[in-house]
Structure 1
Amino acid sequence: MIELQTSYITETGRRQRNEDACGYWSSEQGSCWVVSDGAGGHGSGDKASKLVVSAVLGKFSAAPVVNEDMVISLLEAAHTAVMDEKRANPQGDDMHATVAIVLIDPQTQSAVWGHVGDSRVYLFRQRVLAHQTRDHSLVQGMIDAGYGDSEMIRTHPQRSLLTSAIGNSGELALSVSGSPVVIQEGDAFLMCTDGWWEYVDEKTMEGLLQNAETAEEWLQLMAVKVKESENDKSDNYTAMGIQAGDLEPVTTVILVK
């Protein structure tokens, strides 16, 4: 059974309240990690993200199964929880949220993940980016359609407009990783909200991971970059790191002339 280590950082940034939420639940049968970024006025954004985390962890802990169907079920449960709250309070704000989920079976060393919105899941193998989720956003759709390059994702003025979110009316568009992926010793997952990845690009993530001995140290190094980029409009930011066993050792080669 592979050992799993968890680290997380969640900060308010320059906002009045932290509308991000995160959490995890672990057992020998399976483990679940979830990150959510809420939106809405008068505190309904933080309520939405907390509802998402509670719904996901509550449902998974009752039946800790790691497969694609479970990810879909958890995403749908999060959506139902927020929609139920909105129906119970029709005079409230139009709250909604993003969500990113990772499930790992420590016995089979397999992982699945899924998301709605622009909170992301990254998988790094041998300290190199192996996978990242694609946002459900207007700008990502423009890039996919050939109307711009990947640099737009962090600079476009409409980069925060989502095409799918937990709590939105209409059909829920969600993404899942598919069949379980066998994880290896040294694999590292990063789950984060847009307030994090907007200021730490993928090359920087890789570069800082090269200099880290643990996922916790990696998060701290990235957090420095986020703080350095803070301005008066800086969003909340949240990141969770999941480390499978020990990170691959860093090898330094010294060339002697």
Structure 2
Amino acid sequence: MTGQAHPCAQSSLALVHHSLSHKGDRSYNEDAYCHVRDKHVVSFAVADGMGGAAGGAQASHLAMQAVRAAVLTLDPEQFSAQLRAMSQRIQDEQQSNPRLRQMSTTVVELRIDTYAQKAVWAHWGDSRMYWFRATELMAMTVDHSVVQSLVSAGLLSAQEARSYPQKNVLLGAVGANSEVGPDVLAAPVDVASGDAFLLCTDGIWNCLAPEDIEASLKRSGSVQAWVTDLMDQVERVGQGSNDNFTATGVWITSDGEQTLLLR
């Protein structure tokens, strides 16, 4: 899916975006993605469902439904409440359908107010968001996972974490009964032309380190080329063992052109 620029006022930001999802070497795809606009706020979201072919796909679908139905606010408290309501919606479905009792999903969501030129993001689980400015990594989300907790405590290095046997064990997710809730950026940040964002499931970042993603951004002439290159790399690196993998790239440009302003 390719999006065109979204001008909403003379001084507003222009956005271009592109999303791709692949089932990898699995027989079904539990990932999902969406984008939605509410006046001058645009949301991009990616989810990675868990619970088997039916449950995982249903959970990620319900999460994207909730994103589409939400009032798109940049207020962190309201954003957090919406994510908790999303989780409750999935838990309600678990109760009404025993076949889906084990379903849950990760989610990562980016919201950009194109008029205020500010952004806020949130995640729950281990789907990630990366923020680049002039191709340099500015920030990324911190996974709600056992392995990340060990890295944060200084008990594992980032390199060791890549091969840790329990790296897929989560401490929190949408619809799961866990003490770890959603992480929402404490306050909106200023964004500008030349900024780029990547939202992705673990099928992407398990194969590609942040420096790989950054290198791809530097050599890509469009957001479509960037996302396609990342997907192609994952397919090659996985060599027959790929999980589902999904990526959404978002570029902020000066005039809606399909190129990123580099410095």
Does TM, scored on the shorter chain, surpass 0.5?
A: yes
Task: Report the counterpart of residue 86 of structure 2 in structure 1.
Answer: 78
Task: Report the counterpart of residue 20 of structure 1 in structure 2.
Answer: 31
Task: Report the counterpart of residue 65 of structure 1 in structure 2.
Answer: 73
2:249 pairs with 1:241: yes
Deviation digits for residues 44-70 of structure 1 (CA, Å, limit 9, x no counterpart): 1101100011112211xxx33222123
Q: Is the 8 A contact 2:46 2:109 kept in 1?
A: yes
Aligned length: 247
Q: Which structure 2 segments of 5+ residues have no match?
A: 1-11, 255-259
CA positional deviation for 1:170: 4.0
CA positional deviation for 1:167: 1.1
Please state whether the residue corresponding to 2:192 is helix, strand or coil.
coil
Aligned AA (1:68): P
Q: 1:40 aligns with which of 28, 51, 72?
A: 51
- Higher mean Cα deviation, 204-213 or 170-179? 170-179
Q: Is the 8 A contact 2:135 2:262 kept in 1?
A: no
Deviation digits for residues 104-162 of structure 1 (CA, Å, limit 9, x no counterpart): 10000100000000000110001110000000000001111111101133211110000
Task: Report the counterpart of residue 104 of structure 2 in structure 1.
Answer: 96
Please state whether the residue corresponding to 2:19 is helix, strand or coil.
strand
Q: Distance in 1 between matches of 2:178 and 2:107?
A: 17
Please state whether the residue corresponding to 2:45 is helix, strand or coil.
strand
Q: Distance in 2 between matches of 1:238 and 1:83?
A: 24
1:165-180 superposed matches below 5 A: 165-180=173-188
Q: Distance in 1 between matches of 2:235 and 2:243?
A: 11
Deviation digits for residues 152-195 of structure 1 (CA, Å, limit 9, x no counterpart): 33211110000001111243422111110000101001000000
**Quick one: percent identity of the two aligned structures?**
32
Q: 1:203 aligns with which of 211, 214, 235?
A: 211
Q: Distance in 2 between matches of 1:131 and 1:73?
A: 23
Aligned AA (1:225): Q
Task: Report the counterpart of residue 132 of structure 2 in structure 1.
Answer: 124
Task: Report the counterpart of residue 109 of structure 1 in structure 2.
Answer: 117
Supply the RMSD in Å over aligned alpha carbons.
Answer: 1.4
Q: Distance in 1 between matches of 2:174 and 2:122?
A: 13
Deviation digits for residues 29-54 of structure 1 (CA, Å, limit 9, x no counterpart): 21111100001124111011000111
2:15 pairs with 1:4: yes
Q: Which structure 1 segments of 5+ residues have no match?
A: 251-257
Relative to the length of structure 1, the TM-score reads 0.92
- Higher mean Cα deviation, 226-235 or 100-109? 226-235
Aligned AA (1:39): M
